[in-house]
Amino acid sequence: MTTLTIRRLAVPKRPRRRTTVLGVIALAVGLIAVHIWAIRETDVSISALVSGWSGIVSFLQSALPPDLSWSTVVQPGIEACLVTLAIGLVGTTFSIPFSVLLAVLGARTTSRNPFVYQAARGIMSFLRAVPDIVFALIFVTAVGLGPFAGVLAIILHNTGVMAKLWSEAMEEIDDGPIEALRVAGASSTQIAAHVVLPTVVPQFVGLLLYRLDVNVRSSLVLGLVGAGGIGFLINQSISLFRFDEMMTYILMVLILVVAVDLLSGAVRKRLNA
């Protein structure tokens, strides 16, 4: 009877890149040089900050205590906060169908045509590259001052961002069911509808809630360029040097952002449970 001897083979070690001392020194020198250039270009000056400390103190003295007049400050501020929330909510919701379409066309798992794939990725990159405040300035000249310009700006910018995030989530799923449907002759639309989209619904919802949180805060900035909401009141109070009113509006913004963050966090926790 022959006895078989089983030899355990050693697992080959992962090859390591040899990092030379000169390479580390060159990298460190390069990083230092880049940061020195960046500091010079941005006019970073500790002395200017120290000398301007009196201006900061004067500003705080003007801003504190905040103006809590109900009819002239608090009530209009609450109404403007609701408008800011509405801009972020409507802009996020209306961007969903465009984001889904771009994500399906710009994901390798659902898009077979290279031209369509590259075109979708190009549109995503363009919408993400242009800041929402630039879109707001464009739409203010087109539709006038008010929240509608902010909604349109959020829709365009958020479409590019969400489509990018969702397409990446679609590309990370298991390829097994997709390949099985392709072998069976299923089209890209059928694959997206029956496999890809149902699989990534939890990721979609989580990313959507994250973007809603971001868009509500972006709506504040859009108000500074005439898109309505609490940002418009903050800009107005700064122009009139009413820093006590501005402080009240900032506190309202803080409460609004915290409330939206807690709400979205609770919904994400419920989905993951």
pLDDT digits (tens, 9 = 90+) for 115-145: 888 888 888 889 888 888 888 888 888 888 7
Q: What 3-state DSSP class applies to 145? A: coil
Q: What is the pLDDT of residue 5?
A: 56
Whether 231 contacts 223, CB under 8 Å: yes
> Taking residues 186-197, what's their average pLDDT?
64
Whether 91 contacts 151, CB under 8 Å: yes
Task: Kindly tell me if the per-residue pLDDT of 268 is higher than 50.
Answer: yes
Confidence bin at 191 (pLDDT 50/70/90): low
Confidence bin at 183 (pLDDT 50/70/90): low
Residue 146 sits at φ, ψ, to 5 deg, of 135, 175
Whether 132 contacts 111, CB under 8 Å: no
Which carries the bigger pLDDT value, residue 259 or residue 5? Answer: 259
Residue 219: how many other CB atoms lie within 10 Å: 33
Percent of the chain with pLDDT strictly greater than 90 = 1
Tens of pLDDT, residues 26-47: 888 889 999 888 888 887 778 7
Domains of the chain: 68-272 (1.10.3720.10)
Could you list the beta-strand ranges (E) of the chain: none
Separation between Cα atoms, residue 198 and residue 190, nearest integer Å: 12
Q: What 3-state DSSP class applies to 187? A: coil
86: left (phi over 0), alpha (psi -120 to 50) or beta: alpha
Separation between Cα atoms, residue 232 and residue 146, nearest integer Å: 9
Separation between Cα atoms, residue 201 and residue 105, nearest integer Å: 17
Percent of the chain with pLDDT strictly greater than 70 = 81
Please tell me what DSSP assigns to residue 19. -
Confidence bin at 193 (pLDDT 50/70/90): low
Amino acid 69 reads: S
Q: What is the pLDDT of residue 110?
A: 74
Separation between Cα atoms, residue 3 and residue 25, nearest integer Å: 58
Confidence bin at 11 (pLDDT 50/70/90): very low
Q: What is the pLDDT of residue 58?
A: 76
* Average pLDDT of the residues of the chain: 78
Tens of pLDDT, residues 59-109: 777 778 777 777 778 888 888 888 888 888 888 889 888 988 888 887 777
- On the CB side of 2, CA atoms within 13 Å amount to 3
Task: Kindly tell me if the per-residue pLDDT of 207 is higher than 70.
Answer: yes
Which carries the bigger pLDDT value, residue 215 or residue 14? Answer: 215
Task: Kindly tell me if the per-residue pLDDT of 111 is higher than 50.
Answer: yes
Which token pair is 76?
């209009």
